[in-house]
Copies of this chain bind each other. A is one copy, B any other.
Amino acid sequence: MSHPRGPLAQLRRGHEELVLELLRKHGPLSRGELGKLCQLSRTTLYDILAGLLSTGAVVTATQPDAPRGRGRPAETLTLHPGAGQAIGIDFARRAVHVAAVNLAHEIVGSASEPHPADLSWEGRVDLAERLVASLTDGGLRLGALSAIGVGVVGPVDGPDSEDAPDPAGGESTPEAADEPAHPAQVLLGERFGVPVLLDNNTRLAALGEAIWGAAAGGQDVLYLRLSHGVGGGLVVGGSLHRGAYGLSGEFGHITVDPAGAPCDCGGTGCLETVASIRAVLDAYRAAGGRAEDVPELAKAIRAGDETALTLLEGVGGRIGGVLAAVCNAIGPSVIVIGGELAETGAALIEPVERALRAQVMPVSRHRLSLRRATLGEAAGALGGIALVLHESPLLSRYPAGPDLAADPIDVSEQAPKEGS
């Protein structure tokens, strides 16, 4: 997924950028007209064009009213009307992850940086901007940026929420439509001058894994992320599911112990109170173990630390029980487990799988496939890009962006600010 580097690749990218800029500025051009404007040699230009045509960033069109003389009919080159670069940004609790696609919708790179949990939104957006700038150094051309897809922690309502009149509980629907924009949406809109689509970052990670990752091609997918928070997302009957009020996939707030610890959500004994990174590390230290973070815990496990193994056996059992309940309700074919805690490997995943298969309906037991996530920390940012491109059938029933399709954005006037 990394973009080729080196002086030759950079030179070529500069030529591509020039050709794309000319097509953006002048509209459709013939090869002859392009040659005059770009001042490149015929061989170089045709080589660059062949590349752009093969990726679909540029398409050819035959002018219907062109005079028919000898030789080939007049053929013009134009930017693919639906093409556009897109950026995905995942604002996780303690890190920002970004990823970008080029005009041909190929992933050109991704970048991440951790930050303190109390960093302001201004600080997070600054960080995102720096990370995006690092991608542009690596070959991203922001002149064609069409939109940004952003994931944030917590429930996100949207235009697809239940809008049928609800006789018994109707009061919550109208207010949702008037919700103020999220600070990330406002700040990014100001800095990049393009539409910013927002969704729950874990749901976007589910989307990423279901399109490009461990569940690629799955029509009914349950994605669980074990990180600082515990959450997930569902692909139901071939569509990403948002829930009536943007609240689906909250597996971390399913009660596992009604007499358990209080949870940040206001509930008691939620899965998150036993299966989040903090909960697991706290329990490990309370049992006499020493680990400051998941890599240290993973190291203890590799060393055969019995305290850690016993702890993860119990945590895995809780997770498997919740997964079994959700599987009985929804009937997925694939379960994907991601998040930093999944890095502890078999010590966690095996007890999860044992509890899952013990508690799910016996008839489903051998139909379920449990898999580790494959996209790592970039999953949410990649899901943000998928949300913008809106090309996956998984989004067939999801709201499109703010008229991205109906009203193409004039990107020529919207050069981004330089990264700080």
Residues on A facing B (Cβ under 8 Å): 155, 160, 162, 164-169, 172, 217-220, 234, 236-239, 241-251, 253-255, 258, 265-267, 321-322, 324-326, 328-334, 359, 361-364, 366-369, 371, 397
Q: Please indicate the chain B residues that have their CB under 8 angstroms from the CB of A362 in the complex.
A: 265-267
Q: Please indicate the chain B residues that have their CB under 8 angstroms from the CB of A325 in the complex.
A: 254-255, 322, 325-326, 329
Q: Given A166-B333, A219-B244, A247-B363, 19 other A-B contacts at CB below 8 A?
A: A160-B237, A162-B219, A162-B333, A167-B369, A220-B244, A236-B236, A237-B242, A243-B330, A243-B332, A246-B331, A250-B331, A251-B329, A254-B329, A258-B321, A265-B363, A267-B361, A325-B325, A326-B329, A329-B330
Min C-beta distance of A318 to chain B, whole Å: 11
**Is A245 a contact of B333 with CB atoms below 8 Å?**
yes
Interface centre among A237, A255, A397 (most CB of B within 10 A): A237
**Is B329 a contact of A366 with CB atoms below 8 Å?**
no
26 contacts between A and B (CB under 8 A): A164-B217, A165-B217, A166-B333, A166-B334, A169-B333, A236-B236, A237-B239, A237-B242, A239-B397, A241-B331, A243-B330, A244-B333, A245-B333, A245-B367, A247-B361, A247-B363, A247-B364, A248-B329, A248-B331, A249-B331, A250-B329, A250-B361, A253-B328, A254-B329, A255-B321, A267-B359
Q: Please indicate the chain B residues that have their CB under 8 angstroms from the CB of A236 in the complex.
A: 236-237, 241
| 10 closest residue pairs by CB, A with B | A243-B331, A244-B333, A266-B362, A248-B331, A168-B369, A220-B244, A247-B331, A169-B369, A250-B328, A254-B325
Q: Please indicate the chain B residues that have their CB under 8 angstroms from the CB of A168 in the complex.
A: 334, 369, 371
Q: Please indicate the chain B residues that have their CB under 8 angstroms from the CB of A326 in the complex.
A: 325-326, 329
Complex CA–CA separation, A172 to B368 (angstroms): 10
Interface centre among A167, A359, A367 (most CB of B within 10 A): A367
- A interface, over-half SS: loop
Min C-beta distance of A371 to chain B, whole Å: 7
Complex CA–CA separation, A160 to B321 (angstroms): 28
**Is A172 a contact of B367 with CB atoms below 8 Å?**
yes
Min C-beta distance of A350 to chain B, whole Å: 16
* Known interface pairs A244-B333, A245-B331, A248-B330; A324-B237 also in contact (CB < 8 Å): no
Q: Please indicate the chain B residues that have their CB under 8 angstroms from the CB of A247 in the complex.
A: 328, 331, 361, 363-364, 367
Q: Please indicate the chain B residues that have their CB under 8 angstroms from the CB of A334 in the complex.
A: 166, 168
Complex CA–CA separation, A169 to B369 (angstroms): 6
Q: Please indicate the chain B residues that have their CB under 8 angstroms from the CB of A169 in the complex.
A: 333, 366-369
Complex CA–CA separation, A241 to B235 (angstroms): 12
Closest to A236 in B: B236
**Is A364 a contact of B266 with CB atoms below 8 Å?**
no
Q: Please indicate the chain B residues that have their CB under 8 angstroms from the CB of A368 in the complex.
A: 169
